[in-house]
Amino acid sequence: MSEIINLNRMRKAKARAEKAREAADNRARFGRSKAEKSLDEKRTSIDTARHEGHRLPAKREEEE
């Protein structure tokens, strides 16, 4: 036979685990120094500029 489980206890344990995961994400996102934030922002802007630099020019249908 299978083991009997308390559904309320399982639901609450799942909610606790989800809150713990969300708290870890928030610590990683907001628990950084100003230098780390600015470095991440600079890296993102450089990556965006590099990505946009490889974009092909738009075709013009008027230039036939």
pLDDT, tens only, 9-60:
999 999 999 999 999 999 988 888 899 989 999 999 999 999 998 888 888 7
What is the chain's length? 64
Q: Where are the domains of the chain?
A: 7-53
Q: Please indicate, yes or no, whether the overall pTM of this predicted structure exceeds 0.75.
A: no
